Structure 1
C-alpha cells in the first residue's frame, strides 16, 4: 500500500493516549469521598508528581484546546488563589509526609500571568503541605508576552528548573490567524533570561497542521527554534476540535492543510530536528542526547501522562486547580472544570473531584501495553505475563491476531513480543487503539491520528 493510501486508511480520529482509560470514560461515580480514600492509601514509599492549573490567559489563542478563560484583570486570578491554597493544604494533610515530591509542574492557561509574589506564595503553600525531594523538578509553562524582569526573578525564587515555551509558528500570517502574536526575538529573550538565572532545561513547542501553514513557513520556524538550542522540542499536530472548543470555530477550516500536507509537514520538521542532532522520543518529542528524556527513552524508562512524554517515575500524579486530572494507583480523578464552582467546592471542603474512574486489572494491563506502544513502539510478552499472569494471554492473542491479519505491515510479532515497524511508528496512536477496550462504545470524539 502506498504511503498516501496508508494515511487515508489510518488517519481517523483516535485518542492521544495520555491516559488509559481516556478522559471521556471518566464518570461521576468517583467523587471527593473516594478521592480522599485513595489519597489516604498512598504510602510513605510512594513518590509524588504535582500539577497545578492556572486557568487564565490575557489573550485566548484560537488553536488552544486547554481549559482556560480570558481575562484582562488580575482580580479573577487573586480570587482563584484562596481556594487553591485550601485545596493544597487539604490534600497535603491526607498524604503521608514521608512521601517525596519529585516534580511540580505549573500549567494553564498562562501561569506566568501570576505576579511574582503569588507565584512564590503558591510554591510556599506546596512546600508547607508536602515534602519535596532535594532534586525535585520545578517546571513552568511560559508565555513570552507575560514576562518581565520581576517575573523572571520570581521564577528563579521558586527554584524553576525547566521552562516550557509555547511557540507554535513564527510566521506572521499563521500567528494572526490563530491569535498568537509572538516574535522570535521575544522567544529568544525568554530563553536567554531563564538560562541566565540557572535554568538547566528549556523546552519549545511547535505545531504543524495550522491554518495557512506550509512546509516553507514551518521550515523557517524549525530553523529558528534550532538556533535557540532548546533541550527538548515537542512537535505536535494541531488538534482541530471545534465541537469541544468553540473558539476554534474562529479558525477558517478552508485554510487548514489536509492529511497529506500535515504528514509532509511532520516528516519534514522531524527530519530537520534529527539532522540537528536531536533524538526522536515517541511520536512527537525530540531531545538532545544528554537530556533526561532521551536517556529515559534509551533505557526503557520513558513514561506518558497528561503532560505528554516524561521521565517522571512518580507513583502518583496529583492535580490541583480547576479541571486538573490526577493519576493514582487506584485510578484517575478530575476536579470540577467550571472555575466558579471549583472555587465554591474548594472553599467549602478543600476537595473538588467530580469524576474519574477506578482501574480494573484489565485496565492496568491495557494501560501498560498502550503506554509501551506509545513510548517504545513495542511491548514484550514475558514481562507482561509476569506482571499480569491471569490476563496477559488475552492481549498477547490480540497482538498476534492483529499482526497476522494486518496486510499493511504496521507491526510484527517476534519471539520476544509485539513490535511496530518503521511505517507503523508514525501511526502508533492507531495501533494502540487496537488494544483499547473502551473505544468502540461511542463515548468521546478525538482529533485525527496524523
Structure 2
C-alpha cells in the first residue's frame, strides 16, 4: 500500500491533549508483556516452525559496556573502565551464538545484522574481528545484507572507522544528543563539535553506505534557541538519517537519571516549540518525516520503502527489510519470531549461568495469541504506512480466523470515532487514513488497537511527544 502523503501538520492543542505515555510499538505486544513463566521449549518450537517456513533472519548483538554513564540513557548497560571485563563476555556471547545457530537451519539467509549497546566500539579491533568471524561462521548472509553498528564518537579514531568498513559494516550510527556544551555537561556526554565533524569526515572517507545520528529533545538546559543551533549543525553534518527522540525522564525506572535536576528540564510548552522547529527545519532542508521521531533523505532506503509501502518495524525500529525473525545475542537482547518474543537475562551473572548450564539464556518471554498477531499487523501497518485497508486485513486472516473487521473490532469503534472527531484519522468503509495532524500522534492512534494498554504500567512508557 503506497503512502499517499508525507506531509505533517503541527496542531499544538492536539499535541497537548494526547501527550500521555504510550508504547513505542517496536513490537506488539510490547516488551512489558514478557513474563518469567515462559518455557524454553516454546522458543525451540517456534524456531522449528520458522525453519520449515525458511523465514529470513535479522541478527542483533548487544555489547553492554560503557566507560561512563550518560545520564539520559535508558539502555541496559555495564559501566566500567576495566576493559578486561569484555573478555569473558566475548566468550559467552560466542557460545550464545553457537548454541542458537545449532537450532537454526543454515540455509536461512541473514538479511540484517546490527551491533548495539552500550558501546560496541568498547571492544578492541581484535575482539570485534573475533565476534565478527563467529557470526559469519555460523550463519549465511545474503549478498545485499544490511550490516550496521552503533559507535560512540568519543572513543573513535580514523583507523578504527576504516577497520569497521573494511571488515564489512555498511551502515553506522552515533549519538549527538545536543551540540550545546552546557547540555552535554548536564548529561555527562561531553563531545566537542569538532570531534563530531571529524568523526563524520572519517566515516564518509571510509565509504559507509549510510550514516545515522541521534538527537534528544527535552534534556536539561535545552531551549528553542539552543536546539535550533543543534538542528542546523546537524543539517550541516549531512547524515542520511536523523532520529530525534523525546527524552523520557523516568528516574524511578532508570536510576542514573536521578543525577539530572528535574527543574533544569525544559517545560512542556518549550518542548513542543522545539519539536515544531525540528520538524520544520529538517523537512525544510530536504529530509522526509518517516514517522514518530525519524527523518531520512528522500533517496534513503527508509524513505523509498515507506513510499512503496514496504516499510517494516521491529525491536530495532524502522527497517527496510522484509518480515524476518529477529534473533538477539548477548545480555538483555530480544529475539522476535512470528509468534514468540523472548528476552535474555538482563544481568551478566544470570546470562553467564544459563549458558554454563547449557540453557538458552532467556529470562522471560511471551507466546502471541491469534488476536495478538492480528492486532500486531494492524498496529505496524499504521505505524509504518499511516493508513490501513480493512479489506487487506480480512483477506490476510479470513481463512484462519473468519475475520470481519467491523465485527471483530466493534469495541474499538468508539475510540476510533473520537480520534476521527479530533481530526487525527479519516474513517471510511474500507480504510483508516491518518491525517497530517495525526502523523505526530501515530502512537496514540495505534494504541486504539492495544488490548493490553489498560493493564500495562504506563509510567514505563515515554510520552507521545
For the superposition of Structure 1 and Structure 2, which TM-score range results when normalised by the shorter chain? over 0.9
Question: Given the alignment, which residue of 401, 404, 414 partners 2:417?
Answer: 404
User: Shift in Å at residue 243 of structure 1?
Assistant: 1.4
User: Shift in Å at residue 190 of structure 1?
Assistant: 1.6
User: Shift in Å at residue 302 of structure 1?
Assistant: 1.1
User: Shift in Å at residue 383 of structure 1?
Assistant: 0.4
Q: Distance in 2 between matches of 1:4 and 1:255?
A: 23
Q: Secondary structure at 2:437's aligned position in 1? A: helix
Which residue matches 1:127?
136
Which residue matches 2:220?
211
CA pair 101-167 structure 1, distance change in 2 beyond 3 A: same
CA pair 396-266 structure 1, distance change in 2 beyond 3 A: same
Q: Distance in 1 between matches of 2:408 and 2:272?
A: 30
Q: Does 1:435 align with 2:449?
A: yes
Q: Secondary structure at 1:242's aligned position in 2? A: coil
User: Shift in Å at residue 29 of structure 1?
Assistant: 2.6
The answer to whether the 8 A contact 1:35-1:353 is kept is no
Q: Distance in 1 between matches of 2:87 and 2:114?
A: 20
The answer to whether the 8 A contact 1:84-1:346 is kept is no
Consecutive unaligned residues of structure 1, counting only runs of 5 or more, are none
The answer to whether the 8 A contact 1:86-1:350 is kept is no
Which residue matches 2:28?
20
Q: Distance in 2 between matches of 1:197 and 1:321?
A: 28
Which residue matches 1:302?
311
Please give the per-residue CA displacement for 1:209-237, whole angstroms capped at 9, x wherever unaligned.
Answer: 11111111111111111112111111111
CA pair 3-133 structure 1, distance change in 2 beyond 3 A: closer
The answer to whether the 8 A contact 2:62-2:115 is kept is yes
- TM superposition score normalised by structure 1: 0.96
1:316-327 aligned at under 5 Å gives the runs 316-327=325-336
CA pair 337-229 structure 1, distance change in 2 beyond 3 A: same
CA pair 395-257 structure 1, distance change in 2 beyond 3 A: farther
RMSD: 1.7
Q: Distance in 2 between matches of 1:300 and 1:157?
A: 33
1:129-278 aligned at under 5 Å gives the runs 129-278=138-287
* Equivalenced residues, count: 449
Which residue matches 2:4?
none
Please give the per-residue CA displacement for 1:362-406, whole angstroms capped at 9, x wherever unaligned.
Answer: 101111111122112221111011112234334554554334344
Q: Secondary structure at 2:422's aligned position in 1? A: coil
The answer to whether the 8 A contact 2:287-2:298 is kept is yes
Please give the per-residue CA displacement for 1:330-389, whole angstroms capped at 9, x wherever unaligned.
Answer: 221110101221122123315101211111111011111111221122211110111122
Consecutive unaligned residues of structure 2, counting only runs of 5 or more, are 1-9
Q: Secondary structure at 2:222's aligned position in 1? A: coil
CA pair 190-251 structure 1, distance change in 2 beyond 3 A: same
Q: Secondary structure at 2:357's aligned position in 1? A: helix
The answer to whether the 8 A contact 1:116-1:150 is kept is no
The answer to whether the 8 A contact 2:312-2:323 is kept is no
